[in-house]
């Protein structure tokens, strides 16, 4: 874990590491994957010096899902209009 991470993130890291090793997931990369997950969460919540995403990633994700929903609606409406012909 990087210096400056909170005790909460340290705990989270060790819990993830133990879970991955216990279940045999990720082969010998359990530490690496656990660190990556915790670091992504730190960046997402603005706990790093340079957080890449912050709140903007949440907004972007929300936009993506709303776009998907709207495109699904248009596809359904097109298919139903074809049936009525």
Q: How confident is the model at residue 3 (pLDDT cuts 50, 70, 90)?
A: confident
More confident residue, 18 or 62: 18
Spell out the domain ranges in the chain. Answer: 1-53, 57-85
What average pLDDT does the segment 3-27 reach?
Answer: 92
Q: How confident is the model at residue 54 (pLDDT cuts 50, 70, 90)?
A: low
Contact 1, 38 (CB under 8 A): yes
**What pLDDT was estimated at residue 42?**
93
Residue 24 above 80 pLDDT?
yes
Q: Which residues contact 52 (CB under 8 A, 6 or more apart)?
A: 43
């Amino acid at each position: 874990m990087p210096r400056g991470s909170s005790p909460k993130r340290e705990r989270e890291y060790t819990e993830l590491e133990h879970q991955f090793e216990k279940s045999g997931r990720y082969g010998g990369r359990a530490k690496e994957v656990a660190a990556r997950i915790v670091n992504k969460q730190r960046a997402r919540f603005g706990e790093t010096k340079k957080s890449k995403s912050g709140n903007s990633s949440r907004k972007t994700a929300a936009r993506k899902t709303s776009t998907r929903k709207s495109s699904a609606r248009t596809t359904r409406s097109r298919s139903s209009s074809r049936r009525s012909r």
